[in-house]
Structure 1
Protein backbone atom coordinates (compact mmCIF):
# COMPACT_ATOMS: atom_id res chain seq x y z
CA UNK A 1 0.00 0.00 0.00
CA UNK A 2 1.61 3.25 -1.15
CA UNK A 3 0.73 6.15 1.13
CA UNK A 4 0.97 9.77 0.06
CA UNK A 5 3.33 12.32 1.57
CA UNK A 6 0.34 14.07 3.13
CA UNK A 7 -0.92 10.87 4.73
CA UNK A 8 2.47 9.95 6.15
CA UNK A 9 2.93 13.42 7.62
CA UNK A 10 -0.57 13.18 9.11
CA UNK A 11 0.36 9.92 10.80
CA UNK A 12 3.56 11.46 12.11
CA UNK A 13 1.79 14.51 13.52
CA UNK A 14 -0.79 12.35 15.28
CA UNK A 15 1.92 10.30 16.96
CA UNK A 16 3.74 13.47 18.03
CA UNK A 17 0.49 14.86 19.43
CA UNK A 18 -0.12 11.74 21.49
CA UNK A 19 3.41 11.72 22.84
CA UNK A 20 3.43 15.42 23.68
CA UNK A 21 0.09 15.13 25.44
CA UNK A 22 1.26 12.14 27.46
CA UNK A 23 4.54 13.76 28.47
CA UNK A 24 2.65 16.81 29.69
CA UNK A 25 0.10 14.66 31.52
CA UNK A 26 2.92 12.81 33.28
CA UNK A 27 4.55 16.09 34.25
CA UNK A 28 1.31 17.56 35.59
CA UNK A 29 0.37 14.41 37.48
CA UNK A 30 3.79 14.27 39.16
CA UNK A 31 3.32 17.90 40.19
CA UNK A 32 -0.02 17.04 41.82
CA UNK A 33 -2.05 19.14 39.39
CA UNK A 34 -4.84 16.61 39.01
CA UNK A 35 -6.17 13.55 40.85
CA UNK A 36 -6.72 9.93 39.93
CA UNK A 37 -4.41 7.68 37.93
CA UNK A 38 -2.48 8.09 34.70
CA UNK A 39 -1.67 5.08 32.54
CA UNK A 40 0.73 6.43 29.94
CA UNK A 41 0.51 5.50 26.25
CA UNK A 42 4.16 6.47 25.61
CA UNK A 43 5.74 4.07 23.14
CA UNK A 44 2.47 2.73 21.72
CA UNK A 45 1.54 5.75 19.61
CA UNK A 46 1.79 3.90 16.29
CA UNK A 47 -1.05 1.52 17.18
CA UNK A 48 -3.81 4.05 17.84
CA UNK A 49 -2.55 6.27 15.04
CA UNK A 50 -2.36 3.55 12.40
CA UNK A 51 -5.73 2.02 13.25
CA UNK A 52 -7.77 5.20 13.68
CA UNK A 53 -6.36 6.68 10.46
CA UNK A 54 -8.38 4.04 8.60
CA UNK A 55 -11.64 4.99 10.31
CA UNK A 56 -14.34 7.56 9.63
CA UNK A 57 -16.24 9.71 12.13
CA UNK A 58 -19.25 7.36 11.91
CA UNK A 59 -17.11 4.40 13.04
CA UNK A 60 -16.85 3.41 16.70
CA UNK A 61 -13.98 2.60 19.03
CA UNK A 62 -13.79 1.27 22.56
CA UNK A 63 -10.74 2.13 24.58
CA UNK A 64 -8.93 1.00 27.73
CA UNK A 65 -7.49 2.41 30.94
CA UNK A 66 -4.52 3.44 28.72
CA UNK A 67 -6.74 5.36 26.38
CA UNK A 68 -5.47 8.89 25.74
CA UNK A 69 -3.82 7.87 22.47
CA UNK A 70 -6.99 6.28 21.13
CA UNK A 71 -9.01 9.42 21.79
CA UNK A 72 -6.49 11.72 20.18
CA UNK A 73 -6.09 9.46 17.13
CA UNK A 74 -9.88 9.30 16.65
CA UNK A 75 -10.08 13.09 16.67
CA UNK A 76 -10.80 13.86 20.31
CA UNK A 77 -10.69 17.46 21.50
CA UNK A 78 -7.45 18.01 23.42
CA UNK A 79 -8.84 20.91 25.44
CA UNK A 80 -11.74 18.83 26.71
CA UNK A 81 -9.43 15.87 27.40
CA UNK A 82 -7.06 17.96 29.49
CA UNK A 83 -9.95 19.56 31.37
CA UNK A 84 -11.27 16.11 32.18
CA UNK A 85 -7.90 15.08 33.63
CA UNK A 86 -8.07 18.18 35.82
CA UNK A 87 -11.58 17.21 36.94
CA UNK A 88 -13.06 20.39 35.51
CA UNK A 89 -16.65 21.13 34.53
CA UNK A 90 -15.56 21.79 30.94
CA UNK A 91 -14.11 18.30 30.58
CA UNK A 92 -15.56 15.60 28.36
CA UNK A 93 -17.40 14.04 31.30
CA UNK A 94 -17.79 17.29 33.26
CA UNK A 95 -14.87 16.32 35.46
CA UNK A 96 -16.46 13.10 36.73
CA UNK A 97 -14.70 10.56 34.53
CA UNK A 98 -11.04 11.41 34.72
CA UNK A 99 -8.33 9.74 32.70
CA UNK A 100 -9.89 6.28 32.48
CA UNK A 101 -13.45 7.13 31.45
CA UNK A 102 -13.37 9.76 28.71
CA UNK A 103 -16.00 9.36 26.00
CA UNK A 104 -17.28 11.28 22.97
CA UNK A 105 -20.22 9.48 21.39
CA UNK A 106 -20.50 12.03 18.57
CA UNK A 107 -17.01 11.01 17.42
CA UNK A 108 -17.79 7.33 17.89
CA UNK A 109 -15.60 7.13 21.00
CA UNK A 110 -17.65 4.86 23.25
CA UNK A 111 -15.40 5.37 26.22
CA UNK A 112 -12.15 4.51 27.85
CA UNK A 113 -12.69 1.80 30.44
CA UNK A 114 -11.05 1.04 33.76
CA UNK A 115 -12.21 -2.60 33.65
CA UNK A 116 -9.80 -4.89 31.80
CA UNK A 117 -11.39 -6.40 28.70
CA UNK A 118 -14.69 -4.56 29.13
CA UNK A 119 -14.50 -2.73 25.82
CA UNK A 120 -14.68 -5.84 23.64
CA UNK A 121 -18.36 -6.72 24.24
CA UNK A 122 -19.25 -3.02 23.93
CA UNK A 123 -17.58 -2.84 20.51
CA UNK A 124 -19.26 -6.10 19.54
CA UNK A 125 -22.61 -4.62 20.52
CA UNK A 126 -21.90 -1.46 18.54
CA UNK A 127 -21.02 -3.62 15.53
CA UNK A 128 -24.29 -5.52 15.96
CA UNK A 129 -26.14 -2.18 15.90
CA UNK A 130 -24.28 -1.19 12.71
CA UNK A 131 -25.33 -4.41 11.02
CA UNK A 132 -28.89 -4.32 12.34
CA UNK A 133 -29.35 -0.72 11.16
CA UNK A 134 -27.78 -1.62 7.79
CA UNK A 135 -25.09 1.06 7.94
CA UNK A 136 -21.58 0.51 6.65
CA UNK A 137 -19.98 1.69 9.90
CA UNK A 138 -17.54 -0.53 11.79
CA UNK A 139 -16.41 -0.84 15.40
CA UNK A 140 -12.89 -1.31 16.72
CA UNK A 141 -11.93 -2.58 20.16
CA UNK A 142 -8.50 -1.85 21.62
CA UNK A 143 -7.28 -4.10 24.43
CA UNK A 144 -4.09 -5.51 25.91
CA UNK A 145 -2.43 -8.92 25.96
CA UNK A 146 -3.74 -9.64 29.46
CA UNK A 147 -7.30 -8.87 28.38
CA UNK A 148 -7.06 -11.55 25.70
CA UNK A 149 -7.12 -14.14 28.50
CA UNK A 150 -10.48 -12.99 29.76
CA UNK A 151 -13.86 -14.49 28.93
CA UNK A 152 -14.99 -11.21 27.37
CA UNK A 153 -12.38 -11.69 24.64
CA UNK A 154 -13.53 -15.18 23.72
CA UNK A 155 -17.23 -14.41 24.00
CA UNK A 156 -16.85 -11.31 21.83
CA UNK A 157 -14.82 -13.04 19.12
CA UNK A 158 -17.27 -15.93 19.09
CA UNK A 159 -20.35 -13.71 18.69
CA UNK A 160 -18.59 -11.47 16.21
CA UNK A 161 -17.63 -14.49 14.17
CA UNK A 162 -20.94 -16.36 14.07
CA UNK A 163 -22.91 -13.18 13.31
CA UNK A 164 -20.28 -11.82 10.88
CA UNK A 165 -20.26 -8.47 12.63
CA UNK A 166 -18.33 -5.45 11.31
CA UNK A 167 -15.80 -5.33 14.15
CA UNK A 168 -12.01 -5.32 14.38
CA UNK A 169 -10.31 -6.52 17.56
CA UNK A 170 -6.94 -4.83 18.09
CA UNK A 171 -4.64 -6.32 20.71
CA UNK A 172 -1.97 -3.90 21.87
CA UNK A 173 0.54 -6.47 23.06
CA UNK A 174 3.12 -4.50 25.02
CA UNK A 175 4.42 -7.68 26.60
CA UNK A 176 3.11 -6.97 30.08
CA UNK A 177 -0.15 -7.63 31.89
CA UNK A 178 0.57 -5.10 34.64
CA UNK A 179 3.86 -6.71 35.83
CA UNK A 180 3.38 -10.19 34.36
CA UNK A 181 5.37 -10.94 31.21
CA UNK A 182 3.39 -12.53 28.39
CA UNK A 183 5.19 -15.88 28.70
CA UNK A 184 4.05 -16.19 32.33
CA UNK A 185 0.34 -16.06 31.52
CA UNK A 186 0.13 -17.41 27.96
CA UNK A 187 1.47 -20.54 26.30
CA UNK A 188 1.54 -18.87 22.89
CA UNK A 189 3.81 -16.34 21.23
CA UNK A 190 1.30 -14.76 18.86
CA UNK A 191 -2.06 -13.77 20.28
CA UNK A 192 -3.31 -13.54 16.70
CA UNK A 193 -3.27 -17.36 16.65
CA UNK A 194 -6.41 -17.27 18.77
CA UNK A 195 -8.38 -16.05 15.78
CA UNK A 196 -8.17 -19.55 14.31
CA UNK A 197 -10.54 -20.90 16.96
CA UNK A 198 -13.23 -18.54 15.73
CA UNK A 199 -12.69 -18.89 12.02
CA UNK A 200 -11.62 -15.29 11.45
CA UNK A 201 -8.41 -13.76 10.09
CA UNK A 202 -5.66 -13.08 12.61
CA UNK A 203 -2.41 -11.25 11.97
CA UNK A 204 0.53 -10.08 14.08
CA UNK A 205 2.32 -6.88 13.04
CA UNK A 206 5.10 -4.65 14.29
CA UNK A 207 3.08 -2.32 16.48
CA UNK A 208 5.85 0.29 16.43
CA UNK A 209 5.69 0.60 12.65
CA UNK A 210 2.75 2.92 12.01
CA UNK A 211 2.65 2.01 8.31
CA UNK A 212 2.44 -1.72 9.05
CA UNK A 213 -0.36 -1.05 11.53
CA UNK A 214 -2.20 1.16 9.04
CA UNK A 215 -2.00 -1.47 6.29
CA UNK A 216 -3.26 -4.29 8.52
CA UNK A 217 -6.05 -2.13 9.90
CA UNK A 218 -7.10 -0.89 6.46
CA UNK A 219 -7.53 -4.47 5.25
CA UNK A 220 -9.47 -5.51 8.36
CA UNK A 221 -11.72 -2.43 8.30
CA UNK A 222 -12.49 -2.92 4.62
CA UNK A 223 -13.34 -6.57 5.27
CA UNK A 224 -15.69 -5.55 8.08
CA UNK A 225 -17.27 -2.76 6.06
CA UNK A 226 -18.14 -5.01 3.14
CA UNK A 227 -19.87 -7.49 5.47
CA UNK A 228 -17.27 -10.26 5.70
CA UNK A 229 -17.01 -10.16 9.47
CA UNK A 230 -14.38 -9.51 12.14
CA UNK A 231 -10.60 -9.73 12.26
CA UNK A 232 -8.03 -9.89 15.03
CA UNK A 233 -4.91 -7.74 14.78
CA UNK A 234 -2.07 -8.15 17.27
CA UNK A 235 0.27 -5.16 17.42
CA UNK A 236 3.51 -6.00 19.19
CA UNK A 237 4.70 -2.90 21.02
CA UNK A 238 6.16 -1.68 24.33
CA UNK A 239 5.07 0.80 26.95
CA UNK A 240 7.89 3.12 27.92
CA UNK A 241 6.62 3.62 31.46
CA UNK A 242 5.35 1.38 34.21
CA UNK A 243 1.79 0.11 34.27
CA UNK A 244 0.73 3.41 35.84
CA UNK A 245 2.55 6.57 36.88
CA UNK A 246 4.24 5.70 40.14
CA UNK A 247 5.03 2.12 39.11
CA UNK A 248 8.86 1.88 39.03
CA UNK A 249 8.65 -1.06 36.57
CA UNK A 250 11.52 -2.91 38.24
CA UNK A 251 10.20 -6.09 36.63
CA UNK A 252 11.51 -4.92 33.24
CA UNK A 253 14.96 -6.01 32.09
CA UNK A 254 16.99 -2.77 31.69
CA UNK A 255 18.48 -4.11 28.44
CA UNK A 256 15.01 -4.70 26.99
CA UNK A 257 13.92 -1.24 28.09
CA UNK A 258 16.95 0.37 26.48
CA UNK A 259 16.41 -1.53 23.23
CA UNK A 260 12.74 -0.61 22.94
CA UNK A 261 13.42 3.05 23.67
CA UNK A 262 16.14 3.23 21.04
CA UNK A 263 15.63 5.04 17.72
CA UNK A 264 15.48 1.64 16.02
CA UNK A 265 12.28 0.67 17.84
CA UNK A 266 10.68 3.88 19.08
CA UNK A 267 7.84 4.57 16.60
CA UNK A 268 8.44 8.31 16.25
CA UNK A 269 12.18 8.30 15.36
CA UNK A 270 11.43 5.38 13.03
CA UNK A 271 8.84 7.44 11.21
CA UNK A 272 11.18 10.41 11.05
CA UNK A 273 13.80 8.23 9.37
CA UNK A 274 11.22 6.99 6.88
CA UNK A 275 10.14 10.53 6.00
CA UNK A 276 13.75 11.65 5.65
CA UNK A 277 14.60 8.69 3.42
CA UNK A 278 11.62 9.48 1.20
CA UNK A 279 12.60 13.17 1.20
CA UNK A 280 9.09 14.00 2.40
CA UNK A 281 10.33 16.09 5.33
CA UNK A 282 13.39 17.65 6.91
CA UNK A 283 14.61 18.05 10.48
CA UNK A 284 13.26 21.59 10.34
CA UNK A 285 9.83 20.26 9.38
CA UNK A 286 9.85 17.93 12.38
CA UNK A 287 10.82 20.79 14.68
CA UNK A 288 8.00 22.95 13.33
CA UNK A 289 5.41 20.19 13.78
CA UNK A 290 6.57 19.57 17.34
CA UNK A 291 6.43 23.28 18.13
CA UNK A 292 2.89 23.57 16.77
CA UNK A 293 1.76 20.57 18.77
CA UNK A 294 3.44 21.82 21.94
CA UNK A 295 1.60 25.14 21.56
CA UNK A 296 -1.74 23.30 21.32
CA UNK A 297 -0.97 21.24 24.42
CA UNK A 298 0.07 24.38 26.29
CA UNK A 299 -3.23 26.03 25.32
CA UNK A 300 -5.11 22.95 26.52
CA UNK A 301 -3.45 23.19 29.92
CA UNK A 302 -4.37 26.87 30.15
CA UNK A 303 -7.95 26.03 29.19
CA UNK A 304 -8.13 23.36 31.87
CA UNK A 305 -6.56 25.46 34.59
CA UNK A 306 -8.87 28.39 33.88
CA UNK A 307 -12.01 26.23 33.86
CA UNK A 308 -14.43 25.96 36.77
CA UNK A 309 -14.67 23.00 39.12
CA UNK A 310 -17.93 21.03 39.03
CA UNK A 311 -20.66 22.21 41.35
CA UNK A 312 -20.99 19.73 44.26
CA UNK A 313 -24.77 20.00 43.86
CA UNK A 314 -24.40 18.28 40.46
CA UNK A 315 -22.65 15.22 41.84
CA UNK A 316 -25.45 12.90 40.65
CA UNK A 317 -26.21 14.74 37.39
CA UNK A 318 -25.61 12.47 34.38
CA UNK A 319 -24.93 9.54 36.69
CA UNK A 320 -28.45 8.09 36.83
CA UNK A 321 -31.10 8.04 34.12
CA UNK A 322 -34.65 9.08 34.92
Structure 2
Protein backbone atom coordinates (compact mmCIF):
# COMPACT_ATOMS: atom_id res chain seq x y z
CA UNK A 1 0.00 0.00 0.00
CA UNK A 2 2.87 2.28 0.86
CA UNK A 3 4.51 1.49 -2.46
CA UNK A 4 1.35 2.41 -4.31
CA UNK A 5 1.17 5.73 -2.47
CA UNK A 6 4.81 6.39 -3.27
CA UNK A 7 4.25 5.60 -6.92
CA UNK A 8 1.23 7.85 -7.06
CA UNK A 9 3.12 10.68 -5.41
CA UNK A 10 6.04 10.26 -7.79
CA UNK A 11 3.67 10.18 -10.75
CA UNK A 12 1.98 13.35 -9.55
CA UNK A 13 5.33 15.01 -9.04
CA UNK A 14 6.48 13.99 -12.53
CA UNK A 15 3.22 15.24 -14.02
CA UNK A 16 3.60 18.58 -12.21
CA UNK A 17 7.23 18.89 -13.36
CA UNK A 18 6.21 18.11 -16.96
CA UNK A 19 3.49 20.78 -16.76
CA UNK A 20 5.99 23.36 -15.55
CA UNK A 21 8.45 22.36 -18.29
CA UNK A 22 5.74 22.77 -20.92
CA UNK A 23 4.94 26.21 -19.57
CA UNK A 24 8.59 27.26 -19.70
CA UNK A 25 8.84 26.10 -23.33
CA UNK A 26 5.65 27.97 -24.26
CA UNK A 27 6.97 31.17 -22.68
CA UNK A 28 10.35 30.84 -24.44
CA UNK A 29 8.72 30.34 -27.85
CA UNK A 30 6.34 33.28 -27.35
CA UNK A 31 9.16 35.53 -26.14
CA UNK A 32 11.35 34.60 -29.10
CA UNK A 33 8.57 35.42 -31.59
CA UNK A 34 7.64 38.72 -29.95
CA UNK A 35 11.24 39.87 -29.55
CA UNK A 36 12.00 39.03 -33.20
CA UNK A 37 9.01 41.06 -34.43
CA UNK A 38 9.89 43.97 -32.14
CA UNK A 39 13.53 43.99 -33.30
CA UNK A 40 12.37 43.96 -36.93
CA UNK A 41 10.13 46.98 -36.27
CA UNK A 42 12.94 48.82 -34.45
CA UNK A 43 15.29 48.17 -37.40
CA UNK A 44 12.66 49.52 -39.81
CA UNK A 45 12.14 52.64 -37.72
CA UNK A 46 15.83 53.60 -37.69
CA UNK A 47 16.25 52.94 -41.44
CA UNK A 48 13.63 55.51 -42.53
CA UNK A 49 14.14 59.26 -41.98
CA UNK A 50 10.40 59.86 -42.33
CA UNK A 51 9.78 57.79 -39.20
CA UNK A 52 12.57 59.51 -37.26
CA UNK A 53 10.96 62.90 -37.88
CA UNK A 54 7.42 61.87 -36.91
CA UNK A 55 6.39 62.23 -33.26
CA UNK A 56 3.96 59.33 -33.35
CA UNK A 57 6.62 56.94 -34.65
CA UNK A 58 9.16 58.24 -32.11
CA UNK A 59 6.76 57.30 -29.30
CA UNK A 60 6.13 53.97 -31.02
CA UNK A 61 9.86 53.19 -31.22
CA UNK A 62 10.29 54.13 -27.57
CA UNK A 63 7.53 51.68 -26.65
CA UNK A 64 9.20 48.97 -28.72
CA UNK A 65 12.58 49.50 -27.05
CA UNK A 66 11.04 49.48 -23.57
CA UNK A 67 8.98 46.36 -24.33
CA UNK A 68 11.97 44.51 -25.81
CA UNK A 69 14.13 45.23 -22.76
CA UNK A 70 11.25 44.35 -20.43
CA UNK A 71 10.59 41.00 -22.11
CA UNK A 72 14.28 40.05 -22.06
CA UNK A 73 14.68 40.93 -18.37
CA UNK A 74 11.45 39.27 -17.19
CA UNK A 75 12.26 36.14 -19.17
CA UNK A 76 15.76 35.93 -17.70
CA UNK A 77 14.42 36.36 -14.16
CA UNK A 78 11.80 33.70 -14.87
CA UNK A 79 14.51 31.22 -15.91
CA UNK A 80 16.70 32.11 -12.92
CA UNK A 81 13.77 31.54 -10.57
CA UNK A 82 12.76 28.30 -12.28
CA UNK A 83 16.28 26.85 -11.98
CA UNK A 84 16.69 28.32 -8.44
CA UNK A 85 19.71 30.43 -9.39
CA UNK A 86 20.53 32.98 -6.72
CA UNK A 87 22.26 36.34 -7.12
CA UNK A 88 23.63 39.05 -4.80
CA UNK A 89 20.78 41.09 -3.32
CA UNK A 90 22.41 44.32 -4.54
CA UNK A 91 22.19 43.12 -8.17
CA UNK A 92 18.57 42.09 -7.62
CA UNK A 93 17.77 45.59 -6.33
CA UNK A 94 19.08 47.18 -9.54
CA UNK A 95 17.18 44.73 -11.77
CA UNK A 96 13.90 45.14 -9.87
CA UNK A 97 14.13 48.93 -9.91
CA UNK A 98 14.63 48.91 -13.68
CA UNK A 99 11.81 46.40 -14.19
CA UNK A 100 9.47 48.39 -11.98
CA UNK A 101 10.18 51.51 -13.99
CA UNK A 102 9.67 49.71 -17.33
CA UNK A 103 6.32 48.42 -16.05
CA UNK A 104 5.00 52.00 -16.04
CA UNK A 105 6.89 53.20 -19.14
CA UNK A 106 4.70 51.38 -21.69
CA UNK A 107 1.24 52.51 -20.42
CA UNK A 108 2.51 56.07 -19.85
CA UNK A 109 3.95 56.19 -23.38
CA UNK A 110 0.67 54.89 -24.79
CA UNK A 111 -1.10 57.60 -22.81
CA UNK A 112 1.24 60.18 -24.37
CA UNK A 113 0.48 58.73 -27.82
CA UNK A 114 -3.25 59.10 -27.19
CA UNK A 115 -2.67 62.74 -26.23
CA UNK A 116 -0.66 63.26 -29.42
CA UNK A 117 -3.53 61.83 -31.47
CA UNK A 118 -5.95 64.05 -29.54
CA UNK A 119 -3.94 67.14 -30.50
CA UNK A 120 -3.65 65.98 -34.14
CA UNK A 121 -7.39 65.39 -34.57
CA UNK A 122 -9.02 67.86 -32.18
CA UNK A 123 -6.44 70.69 -32.48
CA UNK A 124 -5.04 70.32 -36.03
CA UNK A 125 -3.94 73.96 -36.33
CA UNK A 126 -1.61 73.62 -33.31
CA UNK A 127 -0.44 70.08 -34.03
CA UNK A 128 2.64 71.19 -35.98
CA UNK A 129 3.66 73.51 -33.14
CA UNK A 130 3.03 71.15 -30.25
CA UNK A 131 3.96 67.80 -31.82
CA UNK A 132 7.70 67.98 -32.54
CA UNK A 133 10.48 65.43 -32.13
CA UNK A 134 12.20 67.63 -29.55
CA UNK A 135 9.02 67.83 -27.45
CA UNK A 136 8.60 64.06 -27.85
CA UNK A 137 12.09 63.45 -26.45
CA UNK A 138 11.35 65.77 -23.52
CA UNK A 139 8.09 63.88 -22.96
CA UNK A 140 9.96 60.54 -22.97
CA UNK A 141 12.35 61.84 -20.32
CA UNK A 142 9.35 62.97 -18.26
CA UNK A 143 7.77 59.53 -18.68
CA UNK A 144 10.88 57.85 -17.28
CA UNK A 145 10.98 60.31 -14.39
CA UNK A 146 7.36 59.63 -13.48
CA UNK A 147 7.86 55.88 -13.89
CA UNK A 148 10.80 55.96 -11.47
CA UNK A 149 8.79 57.52 -8.62
CA UNK A 150 7.33 54.27 -7.25
CA UNK A 151 10.54 52.16 -7.34
CA UNK A 152 12.57 55.00 -5.80
CA UNK A 153 10.11 55.33 -2.91
CA UNK A 154 9.94 51.56 -2.31
CA UNK A 155 13.71 51.08 -2.52
CA UNK A 156 14.41 54.10 -0.28
CA UNK A 157 12.19 52.59 2.42
CA UNK A 158 13.87 49.22 1.86
CA UNK A 159 17.36 50.73 2.27
CA UNK A 160 16.30 52.17 5.64
CA UNK A 161 14.84 48.84 6.80
CA UNK A 162 17.63 46.29 6.17
CA UNK A 163 21.27 46.14 7.32
CA UNK A 164 24.19 46.62 4.90
CA UNK A 165 25.13 42.97 5.18
CA UNK A 166 21.88 42.01 3.43
CA UNK A 167 23.13 43.27 0.04
CA UNK A 168 25.99 40.75 -0.09
CA UNK A 169 23.68 37.77 0.56
CA UNK A 170 22.64 35.56 -2.36
CA UNK A 171 18.86 35.50 -2.88
CA UNK A 172 16.27 34.40 -5.42
CA UNK A 173 15.41 37.67 -7.13
CA UNK A 174 11.81 38.80 -6.61
CA UNK A 175 10.01 42.10 -6.18
CA UNK A 176 8.42 40.74 -2.99
CA UNK A 177 11.88 40.77 -1.41
CA UNK A 178 11.52 44.53 -0.91
CA UNK A 179 8.38 44.20 1.23
CA UNK A 180 9.57 44.04 4.84
CA UNK A 181 6.39 45.54 6.39
CA UNK A 182 2.72 45.22 5.45
CA UNK A 183 2.29 48.97 5.10
CA UNK A 184 4.92 48.98 2.32
CA UNK A 185 2.63 46.77 0.23
CA UNK A 186 -0.24 49.15 0.97
CA UNK A 187 1.87 52.12 -0.09
CA UNK A 188 2.82 50.36 -3.35
CA UNK A 189 -0.87 49.66 -3.90
CA UNK A 190 -1.83 53.32 -3.40
CA UNK A 191 0.82 54.55 -5.84
CA UNK A 192 -0.14 51.92 -8.44
CA UNK A 193 -3.82 52.78 -8.19
CA UNK A 194 -3.02 56.48 -8.57
CA UNK A 195 -1.19 55.71 -11.82
CA UNK A 196 -4.10 53.51 -12.88
CA UNK A 197 -6.67 56.25 -12.23
CA UNK A 198 -4.65 59.00 -13.92
CA UNK A 199 -3.98 57.01 -17.11
CA UNK A 200 -7.54 55.65 -17.28
CA UNK A 201 -9.12 59.11 -17.08
CA UNK A 202 -6.69 60.51 -19.68
CA UNK A 203 -7.25 57.64 -22.09
CA UNK A 204 -11.05 57.65 -21.81
CA UNK A 205 -11.21 61.43 -22.31
CA UNK A 206 -8.91 61.49 -25.36
CA UNK A 207 -10.51 58.51 -27.08
CA UNK A 208 -14.07 59.78 -26.58
CA UNK A 209 -13.07 63.14 -28.07
CA UNK A 210 -11.13 61.51 -30.93
CA UNK A 211 -14.02 59.23 -31.90
CA UNK A 212 -16.52 62.08 -31.72
CA UNK A 213 -14.44 64.38 -33.93
CA UNK A 214 -13.51 61.58 -36.35
CA UNK A 215 -17.17 60.62 -36.77
CA UNK A 216 -18.17 64.18 -37.61
CA UNK A 217 -15.24 64.87 -39.96
CA UNK A 218 -14.90 61.54 -41.75
CA UNK A 219 -16.67 61.09 -45.09
CA UNK A 220 -15.39 57.54 -45.59
CA UNK A 221 -17.12 54.74 -43.69
CA UNK A 222 -14.16 52.44 -44.44
CA UNK A 223 -11.70 54.92 -42.92
CA UNK A 224 -13.91 55.41 -39.86
CA UNK A 225 -14.28 51.66 -39.39
CA UNK A 226 -10.51 51.17 -39.56
CA UNK A 227 -9.98 53.99 -37.08
CA UNK A 228 -12.43 52.42 -34.66
CA UNK A 229 -10.71 49.04 -34.91
CA UNK A 230 -7.34 50.65 -34.20
CA UNK A 231 -8.78 52.48 -31.20
CA UNK A 232 -10.32 49.25 -29.88
CA UNK A 233 -7.01 47.36 -30.17
CA UNK A 234 -5.17 50.25 -28.56
CA UNK A 235 -7.70 50.41 -25.71
CA UNK A 236 -7.38 46.65 -25.11
CA UNK A 237 -3.59 46.95 -24.91
CA UNK A 238 -3.79 49.84 -22.48
CA UNK A 239 -6.38 48.00 -20.39
CA UNK A 240 -4.10 44.95 -20.13
CA UNK A 241 -1.12 47.13 -19.21
CA UNK A 242 -3.12 48.88 -16.50
CA UNK A 243 -4.51 45.62 -15.12
CA UNK A 244 -0.89 44.44 -14.80
CA UNK A 245 -0.46 47.03 -12.03
CA UNK A 246 -3.00 45.10 -9.93
CA UNK A 247 -1.50 41.64 -10.51
CA UNK A 248 1.05 41.74 -7.63
CA UNK A 249 -1.72 42.51 -5.12
CA UNK A 250 -3.94 39.68 -6.38
CA UNK A 251 -1.02 37.24 -6.33
CA UNK A 252 0.01 38.32 -2.81
CA UNK A 253 -3.55 37.66 -1.58
CA UNK A 254 -3.64 34.17 -3.16
CA UNK A 255 -0.20 33.02 -1.98
CA UNK A 256 -1.18 32.30 1.68
CA UNK A 257 -4.30 30.41 0.53
CA UNK A 258 -3.01 27.92 -2.06
CA UNK A 259 0.50 27.59 -3.51
CA UNK A 260 -0.61 25.66 -6.62
CA UNK A 261 -3.30 28.24 -7.38
CA UNK A 262 -0.71 30.99 -6.86
CA UNK A 263 1.61 29.40 -9.47
CA UNK A 264 -1.25 29.04 -11.96
CA UNK A 265 -2.38 32.63 -11.43
CA UNK A 266 1.17 33.96 -11.88
CA UNK A 267 1.54 32.06 -15.16
CA UNK A 268 -1.84 33.36 -16.37
CA UNK A 269 -0.95 36.94 -15.40
CA UNK A 270 2.42 36.68 -17.18
CA UNK A 271 0.84 35.49 -20.45
CA UNK A 272 -2.23 37.77 -20.46
CA UNK A 273 -1.00 40.97 -18.81
CA UNK A 274 2.72 41.00 -19.70
CA UNK A 275 3.25 39.13 -22.99
CA UNK A 276 -0.10 39.95 -24.64
CA UNK A 277 0.16 43.78 -24.40
CA UNK A 278 3.72 43.62 -25.78
CA UNK A 279 2.35 41.62 -28.72
CA UNK A 280 -0.51 44.05 -29.40
CA UNK A 281 1.85 47.03 -29.70
CA UNK A 282 3.55 45.73 -32.91
CA UNK A 283 0.13 44.66 -34.22
CA UNK A 284 -1.57 48.04 -33.66
CA UNK A 285 1.21 50.43 -34.71
CA UNK A 286 3.48 48.27 -36.83
CA UNK A 287 1.75 45.66 -38.94
CA UNK A 288 -1.55 47.60 -39.23
CA UNK A 289 0.15 50.87 -40.19
CA UNK A 290 0.37 51.00 -44.00
CA UNK A 291 3.60 52.99 -44.20
CA UNK A 292 5.33 50.90 -41.58
CA UNK A 293 4.09 47.60 -43.01
CA UNK A 294 5.22 48.48 -46.53
CA UNK A 295 8.60 49.63 -45.22
CA UNK A 296 9.00 46.30 -43.41
CA UNK A 297 8.23 44.39 -46.62
CA UNK A 298 10.69 46.51 -48.59
CA UNK A 299 13.54 45.80 -46.14
CA UNK A 300 12.71 42.15 -45.55
CA UNK A 301 12.60 41.24 -49.24
CA UNK A 302 14.93 43.77 -50.85
CA UNK A 303 16.47 46.31 -48.50
CA UNK A 304 18.56 43.88 -46.44
CA UNK A 305 20.15 41.93 -49.28
CA UNK A 306 22.69 44.14 -51.05
CA UNK A 307 23.32 41.57 -53.84
CA UNK A 308 19.84 41.97 -55.34
CA UNK A 309 19.68 43.88 -58.57
CA UNK A 310 19.05 47.65 -58.22
CA UNK A 311 16.32 47.29 -60.86
CA UNK A 312 14.36 44.98 -58.55
CA UNK A 313 14.89 47.37 -55.63
CA UNK A 314 13.65 50.29 -57.73
CA UNK A 315 10.60 48.29 -58.87
CA UNK A 316 9.83 47.32 -55.27
CA UNK A 317 10.09 50.94 -54.07
CA UNK A 318 7.75 52.08 -56.87
CA UNK A 319 5.31 49.32 -55.93
CA UNK A 320 5.40 50.46 -52.30
CA UNK A 321 4.79 54.05 -53.39
CA UNK A 322 1.82 53.00 -55.54
CA UNK A 323 0.34 50.99 -52.66
CA UNK A 324 0.65 54.00 -50.35
CA UNK A 325 -1.12 56.24 -52.82
CA UNK A 326 -4.07 53.88 -53.34
| TM-score w.r.t. length of structure 1 | 0.25
- Indicate the structure with greater strand content: 1
| TM-score w.r.t. length of structure 2 | 0.25
- Indicate the structure with greater helix content: 2
